[in-house]
Amino acid sequence: MLPDAITQLVAVFAKLPGVGPRSAERIALHLVQTDVPLVKQLADTILHARDKIQLCTTCGALTEKSPCRICDDARRDASLLCIVERAVDILSVEKSGTFRGKFHVLGGKISPLDGVEPDDLRIAELEKRLAHEPVREIVIALGTDVEGDATSFYLAKRLARSGLMVSRIAYGLPAGSGLEFADELTLSRALEGRREML
Amino acid sequence: MTGSATGLVLRARPLTETSLVLHWLTPEFGRMATVAKGARRPQSPFFGKVDLFYLADLSFHRSRRSDLHTLREVGLRETHPALRQNMDRLRLAAYATAFIEQATETETPLPDVYELLRDFLACLCRQPASPQLLFAFELKLLRELGLDPGQAETGLAAGTKKIAGILAEKEWETGLRLKLTGAQTTELGRFLQGFLGIHLNRVPKGRAAALAGAMDADSPAR
């Protein structure tokens, strides 16, 4: 039987993403047997990060100061704007190392089943940016599930205006995988979106 | 114990970082939920095969302790791609789901309701969203539930009542060929809203947005 304090700690850790009950117990037992200064440092670091991190008022990214580093970077291509669903998606696009434009976080996707409508997302903020920034192309980089796709089509229609190109990232096979592992939809879209090689 | 069925995915929700809970509508087991372990991993055999309103053959391990069964295999039949490309259609499909969820019990055979939704989604992929389609679904489902408004004192104008009868009884495409005036659309829409509110205690979620989208999509200005 664990003491109450440890049980409470396990319950808190088990709420974290990717942490199951066994991992939560392991972390809690480790922490209560660790040197107090180290535990204090961990607690302070978590509180400090939570306190400092905010959403960029321009793009919606996670940042310590607003506007964020990407919005403030004059070397980035201001004519290119990539729309992502969540702030963490910016990290995925940045890791690819191929996008040099700016970002806009939508904050979710339209989900009629869950009652998420366009007004619940940062679409009005996006339209304001289009009015004030020299954006010439929007790259929609949302998920490819039914609601992600429907949101992409909705945005393409709503944002359409002269002088603005609206594109979306390509569908296709993951790098390093064979055709036998591809699902029918991905494969049919990859075929539809095929490109001339030479 | 294992089971198998053909079903439509009504909802897909993350359970863990890698797994999904899928809510199905099947003829034999009615509304049921399965966990698709690892379905969010790119290497998973479920990856790309389970999403909203997909029609698929499924096999599952029955849980003895809960209503959450374990999905074993999925064979994709139909993805209803038109729902991905049009928010008005997706709203109608979402409303149909909300209506079914509100009006039916889980784990109870629902062969007629399953067929109704399957045919509705197929029709929704062939036809643009329209108020007629929404009304036809409502009227047909109400009939399945034994709540046929045609038997009640509706107070509808004769023309609107006749339209309601055709939408309830005839094939989907027959009903969609009907041209409703703005007044008839408003009258039938209000009547059904009141009827649903009384007989289901509350109007299923998403009706107003689905109807507004359908009217907008159906308007000649578009």
Looking at per-residue confidence, does A195 or B85 come out higher? B85
pLDDT of residue B201: 92
| β-pairing verdict for A137-140 and A77-84 | parallel
- Rounded Cα distance, B60 and B38, in Å: 15
**What's the mean per-residue pLDDT of chain B?**
92
pLDDT of residue B123: 96
Q: What is the mean pLDDT of residues B35-46?
A: 89
- CB–CB of A112 and B47 under 8 A? no
pLDDT band of residue B216 (cuts 50, 70, 90) is: confident
Burial of A21 (0-12, 13-18, 19+ CB in 10 A): exposed
SS3 A101: strand
Residues in A closer than 8 angstroms to B43, CB to CB, are 181
Give me the residue spans of the domains in chain A: 4-52, 76-176
| β-pairing verdict for B2-14 and A165-168 | unpaired
Whose tokens are 């989900």? That residue is A111
pLDDT of residue B48: 84
Give me the residue spans of the domains in chain B: 2-79, 82-218
Instruction: Give me the CATH topology for the region A76-176.
Output: Dna Topoisomerase Vi A Subunit; Chain: A, domain 2 (3.40.1360)
Q: What is the mean pLDDT of residues A145-152?
A: 95
Closest residue in A to B43 (Cα–Cα): A181
CA torsion, ordered B164, B168, B172, B176, to nearest 10 deg: 0
CA torsion, ordered B142, B147, B151, B154, to nearest 10 deg: -80
- Rounded Cα distance, B98 and B196, in Å: 13
Residue A80 structure tokens: 């290119």
CA torsion, ordered A19, A21, A24, A30, to nearest 10 deg: -140
Burial of B66 (0-12, 13-18, 19+ CB in 10 A): exposed
pLDDT band of residue A53 (cuts 50, 70, 90) is: very high
Instruction: Give me the CATH topology for the region A4-52.
Output: Helicase, Ruva Protein; domain 3 (1.10.8)
- Nearest Cα neighbor of A79 from A129, A134, A132 is A134
Residues in A closer than 8 angstroms to B216, CB to CB, are none
Interface test with A, best of B13, B87, B216 (most A CBs within 10 A): B87
- CB–CB of B83 and A182 under 8 A? no
Closest residue in B to A158 (Cα–Cα): B87
Instruction: Please give the CATH architecture assigned to the domain spanning B82-218.
Output: Up-down Bundle (1.20)
- Rounded Cα distance, B175 and B173, in Å: 5
Residues in B closer than 8 angstroms to A177, CB to CB, are 42
Instruction: Kindly give the residue spans of alpha helices, DSSP state H, lying in A1-145.
Output: 4-13, 21-32, 36-52, 69-72, 87-96, 123-132
Residue A140 structure tokens: 């929609």
SS3 B38: coil
User: Which CATH number applies to B2-79?
Assistant: 2.40.50.140
Task: Answer yes or no: is pLDDT of B152 > 70.
Answer: no
pLDDT digit string, tens, across residues B130-139: 999 999 999 9
Q: What is the mean pLDDT of residues A151-169?
A: 94
Closest Cβ–Cβ partner in B17, B94, B98 for A18: B17
**Structure ipTM:** 0.90
Residues in B closer than 8 angstroms to A184, CB to CB, are 48-49, 76, 79
Q: What is the mean pLDDT of residues B38-53?
A: 89
